[in-house]
Structure 1
Amino acid sequence: MHQHTHGPNKDLIVRMSKVIGHANSVKVMIENNRDCSEILIQIAAVRSALNKVGKLLLDDHISHCVLEAIEKDSSEKDE
């Protein structure tokens, strides 16, 4: 397993906190028997925000973890 050499991505943490808050507000909408179409719109917004977090995490993984693994492998072969 790859060991991270960079710290946690603060942007991802902030975005996930917002997703969690948004999802909790959708739960409250359901508990309050809000209109189904309003709830579905908010669920779509939560999905979109979560997908964005996934894309950012993948970008971070490629730009840090994958490149570091390639560089490490390359330097080990040179030795």
Structure 2
Amino acid sequence: MLATSPNYSVLEDFQGHSLNRLLSGLIEVRSFLRLAIAMASALADVHRREIVHLDIKPANTLVNGATGVVKIAGV
């Protein structure tokens, strides 16, 4: 009998929130553009690693509002 281990992922806690939460109100144009650039950069990093993410959506996009760091979850 083979031993099996549970399937799980461990993610760092970088104090980010989902894009859903961030977009619940108005956002300044300058902040929006910074966020769009950070999102494009994060997605480009995923693609550089030859990973195709089939579910890009606000709930899978994590943003640290203090640092501007964007992480793509659900990969």
TM-score (norm 1): 0.36
Structure with greater proportional strand content: 2
**Highest CA radius of gyration, 1 or 2?**
1
Between structures 1 and 2, the one with greater helix share: 1
